[in-house]
């Protein structure tokens, strides 16, 4: 059965897309640890990060760098934390989380935001991604 991320990649489920290329897709997490929390996902569905083919893994990392810079500008945070957990979806994904301190990376802080807030931060990040 396809992961929820594969369904997003196929266009079966909508998302707040930040970036897409032939190997990866990036979109806002539905439950935001901090507003701007973005996932970078290889299009190939692989459960564990250490099993991702090298070219796909490198594409995730290179895109994460570009996107993190845009998130940092959009949120005015001093750091973008990265995390790979993989418990909630069995499809490797890299979390990019705007942070002002270590507690800002706690997933217990995650919450849904209004559609307008999500669209606003999406547009702000996109404006800095160009």
Catalytic residue among 91, 93, 95, 113: 93
Instruction: Give per-residue pLDDT as tens, 44-94.
Output: 999 999 999 999 999 999 999 999 999 999 999 999 999 998 888 999 999
Interior/surface letters 45-57, b for 16+ CB within 10 angstroms, e for the rest: bbeeeeebeeebb
The answer to whether residue 116 sits within a structural domain is: yes
CB atoms within 10 A of CB 105: 18
Total domains present in the chain = 1
Instruction: Give catalytic status of residue 93 as yes or no.
Output: yes
Report d(CA 20, CA 125) in Å as an integer: 14
Query: Order of strands across the sheet with 24-28?
Result: 17-20, 24-28, 38-42, 94-99, 79-83
Sign of CA dihedral 44, 118, 102, 19: positive
Look at residue 1 and tell me whether its pLDDT is greater than 80. no
Instruction: Give per-residue pLDDT as tens, 9-53.
Output: 999 999 999 999 999 999 999 999 999 999 999 999 999 999 999
CATH code assigned at 50: 3.30.428.10
Report d(CA 99, CA 77) in Å as an integer: 6
The answer to whether residue 130 sits within a structural domain is: no
Q: Which domain holds residue 113?
A: 4-125
The answer to whether residue 104 sits within a structural domain is: yes
The whole model's pTM is what? 0.95
pLDDT of residue 83: 95
């Amino acid at each position: 059965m396809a992961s929820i991320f594969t369904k997003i990649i196929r266009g079966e489920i909508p998302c707040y897309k930040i970036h897409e290329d032939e190997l990866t897709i990036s979109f806002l997490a539905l439950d935001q640890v901090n507003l701007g929390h973005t996932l970078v996902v290889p299009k190939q569905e692989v459960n564990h990060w250490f099993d991702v083919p090298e070219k796909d893994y490198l594409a995730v990392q290179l895109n994460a760098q570009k996107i993190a810079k845009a998130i940092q500008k959009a949120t005015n945070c001093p750091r973008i934390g990265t995390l790979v957990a993989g418990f909630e979806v069995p499809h490797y994904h890299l979390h990019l989380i705007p942070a002002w301190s270590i507690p800002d990376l706690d997933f217990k802080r995650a919450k849904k935001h209004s559609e307008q807030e999500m669209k606003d931060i999406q547009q702000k990040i996109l404006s800095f991604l160009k």
